[in-house]
Structure formats: structure tokens, C-alpha cells
Amino acid sequence: MPRPRSLTQDQLSAAALAVIDREGLPGLSMRAVAVELGISTMALYRYVQDRGELEALVVELVLSAVDSTPPPPDAGTWQARVTLLVDRLRTTVGAHPGVLPLTFTHRHRSPGVLRWGETVLGVLGEAGLGPEERIVALRALLAYVIGAIQQEHLGALSGAGTTAIAALPAEEYPYLTEAARSARSLTPDREFHGGLALLLAGLGG
Amino acid sequence: MPRPRSLTQDQLSAAALAVIDREGLPGLSMRAVAVELGISTMALYRYVQDRGELEALVVELVLSAVDSTPPPPDAGTWQARVTLLVDRLRTTVGAHPGVLPLTFTHRHRSPGVLRWGETVLGVLGEAGLGPEERIVALRALLAYVIGAIQQEHLGALSGAGTTAIAALPAEEYPYLTEAARSARSLTPDREFHGGLALLLAGLGG
DNA sequence: CTGTTAGGTGTACGGCATACGCCTACCGAG
DNA sequence: CTCGGTAGGCGTATGCCGTACACCTAACAG
């Protein structure tokens, strides 16, 4: 009966994501999103209760992509299938690094991630893990992926931090300086999969 | 010749940490810290260039504790020694959960963490790992610890998220709902060490 | 005692999220 | 076609925030 909405939630979250991708997370403000949509600031509040809800919408938009791709092939070892699923999560989040800090606070609610977890648990179950082993394994995988993605985007191994470490006094930090020197040839990809392989090996493969 | 400073950096960072511990990270503001110290807001700027520098000071205060404890005993397997070092990092950060989000942005500069990394690399070296293996292992350990600490404090397994998952439709998420039900008896401590054991097992133990 | 230097302060500005009340576009009913 | 009510959109105002700037003043060197 009354006036219909002129914007969809998808438009909202897409606009917010566009702002983040363009100006980074600090650039995200109700004003900026409103400008992006061509409406007034306060009109936004007809769609979300507060800024937090807008952030949750963006996170959901980004994370939903993790499940939009086809399911993993049943072929291959379970290690290969878990690796594929983990890679999918990594590339999904990595596509929008600016959103990363928001995912921690708003992760729980995402159906996409829930379905991802369900799939991983399934593969682990088929691999012969018991109920409690499965939980520990899933949480460990999640912890590793979360931490690794963060390290990759907030303190990359090939970045300024590593060169700073390489410049430390070698007498006091012999291992670190040596590590920093040889770390320059280690790509983020090899690093990530190396650590993941450790975890999978520990899982019994 | 001129007027001496009336505050030390330790007092500054301690005051900021006190504010965070008492009112949480959102409660941290230049005004609040100034009140805590009994000085005017602008007087703070005689000690730090901006808010970011104050945050870095707090992070450094918290992380420095990781190395103030005595070195790990040379006895025991290398797995036990790494576990001890990792535990030390976990309890250090866990003592001030409010600071957690700040550590990601300001972590690199901490001498305490640098010395921690040096020690871990040393143990890994004695365990027989080669140079590149050591780096991958250290970074994997760091990634796991970072992610696990975050999961523990921002989305605890025994918290609201898990009960929400337990309430999901069991037909659609059979593994997840079953996992959430049996996860209630899994303490954060057992979860953390379970995942860590996986990683260490993968390292060749 | 006095001049210099740097520590401490008060005021002010622009940006932020957002509570509140007004205007009005839209739709169903008559 | 008209009209009334509902809910969308907007302007204004408030109280936070970080911080630039100009001023006052405590303290030491001479």
C-alpha cells in the first residue's frame, strides 16, 4: 500500500563494498555510501539499523562468493579436496582485502561460510575422522586460514617488515636475519600451501 | 635547560592499557587516556604524534611480556618446547583481549615478539629443520596462533555462535549441527592444543 | 634574577554516527 | 479521478572523536 523501497539490499552492500575497494576500510562511512548510492545519509537508515549492520551486509556479500562456485569434485584424495576448499576461502577473502578486519566480527552469520564448513566436515568425515577430531580439525584449519590471510595482507613476507628484520643485528638474531634473507624468494602462495600441508600431514595423511 | 617531562612512556602505555582493560577497545580515546593520567587531552600530544603511536605503545607493552619470562628449559622434546613458547604467546595476548585487534596492525615493531621468533627458529633448527622449512614452520605456527586466539576471543566455541549453529536445520547441515552439539564439552584449551598438536605432528613429530 | 625553551592547556574545527521531526511519493479505496 | 494513510527520503542538530593552533608558564642555564 505505501511507497515501495527504491533500493535492494544487494545494491546497498555492493555500494559499500565499492567504497571499501576504492578507498580502503577507513574510507567507509555512512556518508560515503550514501553518496555512492546518490541518496542522503539518513536515507540509509531506512535500510539498516546502524553502521554495524551495513558492515555485516558487506561481509556477507563477500563471503557468500565462497559457496557460489560448484562443489568440489569427489575425485582425488581428501587432502586435495580440503586444499581446494581452503584455497577457495582464501581467494574469496583475498579478492577484497579491505574487508578483512570486518570478517572477524561478522563472520558467524554468513550462510556461505556455514555451508563451506559443512562441506569441509563432510570431507573430513569421509577421511575417517571421528566427531571430535573433525571439530578440532575444522577449527584448526579455520584458525590457520584466518591467521595466514591476515599475515599475507597485513604483514606480507616480502614486504617492509621482512627487510626491517633482515637489517637487525645478526649477532643477536642469527636465525631471524638468516630467515629474512632467504624469505625473499618465498612466494605467498608457496608459504600458504607449505603451512597448510603441515596441518594436513598432521591430520594423518 | 627547559622544563623536564613529567610522565614516562611506561606511564602513558599503562594508562592506555588500563582504559582498554576497563572499558574495552571502543572506550580508548585520547580524552579518556588524558583523564586517566590527570592531564589535558592535548598534553598527550607532547608524548605521541597521534593516536596510532599510542596504540603501538600499548601493543608493545602487552607483547613485551612474552619475553620477560625465563627462557624455555633445554630439556624435553622440541615439540614440548615449541608448545611452551606458543602457550606463552597465547597467554600473553589472552591476558588483554581488548588489545587483540591492535596487535595485527602494530605487531611487527615489537622486540619482544622478535626475540620470541628467534627462539622458536632456534628450537626448530635444533630439531633438524632446514632454513626454508624453518620459515614456513614459524609462519605457519604464527598464523595458527593468531587465528586461534582470534577465534577464542571473538567467536568462542562455547558462545552464542555455537548455540546458533546447533539450532540450524539438521537436514541441511547434518555435520555442523552434530559438531556444535558435541563442541559444548570441548574447552578452548583442549581445542587450542589439539590444533597445535596437528601442526606439530605435521612438522615431523 | 632573567631569558629561553619546551611542557601543558583551552579553544576551535571538521568529520563521524545517529536521534528526531518534517515533507512527500506512492498505492489502495472510494 | 480523488483522497488519505503509510512509509520512504531528507535536513537539522547533538555529542562524540582526533587534532591544529596559539597561548601561558614552569623550570633550568647564565
CB contact under 8 A, B108 and A155: yes
Provide the pLDDT confidence category of residue A158 given band limits of 50, 70 and 90: low
DSSP characters over A155-198 = S-TTSHHHHHHHTS-TTT-HHHHHHHHHHTT--HHHHHHHHHHH
CA–CA separation, A141 vs A132, rounded Å? 14
Closest residue in B to A180 (Cα–Cα)? B135
CB contact under 8 A, B161 and A108: yes
Q: What is the percent of chain B with per-residue pLDDT over 70, rounded to a whole number?
A: 93
CA–C1' span, B123 to D12, in Å?
64
CA–CA separation, A201 vs B199, rounded Å? 8
CB contact under 8 A, B118 and A175: yes
Protein-strand D interface by C-beta, 7 A? A 1-7, 39-43, 45-47; B 1-4, 28-32, 41-42, 45, 50-52
- Cβ pair A20, A98 in contact under 8 A: yes
- What local confidence, expressed as pLDDT, does residue A189 receive? 96
- What local confidence, expressed as pLDDT, does residue A69 receive? 64
CA–CA separation, B148 vs B142, rounded Å? 10
Q: Which domains does chain A have, with CATH numbers?
A: 9-63 (1.10.10.60), 70-202 (1.10.357.10)
- Cβ pair B151, A143 in contact under 8 A: yes
CB contact under 8 A, A121 and B176: yes
- Of A131, A155, A202, which has the smallest distance from its Cβ to B201's Cβ? A202
Provide the pLDDT confidence category of residue A171 given band limits of 50, 70 and 90: very high
* Residue keyed to cell 604524534: B49
Neighbours of A56 (CB within 10 A): 19
Q: Flag the least confident range among B56-65, B74-83, B114-123.
A: B74-83
3-state secondary structure of B77: coil
- Of B135, B148, B199, which has the smallest distance from its Cβ to A179's Cβ? B135
- Greatest CA span in chain B, whole angstroms? 77
The whole-chain average pLDDT of chain A stands at 92
CA–C1' span, B7 to C10, in Å?
21
pLDDT in tens, A187-199: 999 999 999 999 9
| CA angle centred on A108, ends A8 and A190, rounded to 5° | 105
Provide the pLDDT confidence category of residue A179 given band limits of 50, 70 and 90: very high
> What mean pLDDT do residues A10-37 have?
98
pLDDT in tens, B143-184: 999 999 999 988 654 566 788 888 889 999 999 999 998 888
Residues of B in contact with A131 (CB under 8 A): 178-179, 182
Residue B135 has pLDDT above 70, yes or no: yes
Q: Flag the least confident range among A88-97, B12-21, B71-80.
A: B71-80
> What mean pLDDT do residues B28-47 have?
98
- Of B105, B143, B173, which has the smallest distance from its Cβ to A147's Cβ? B143
* Residue A179 neighbours by CB under 8 Å, 6+ apart: A165, B121, B131, B134, B135, B138
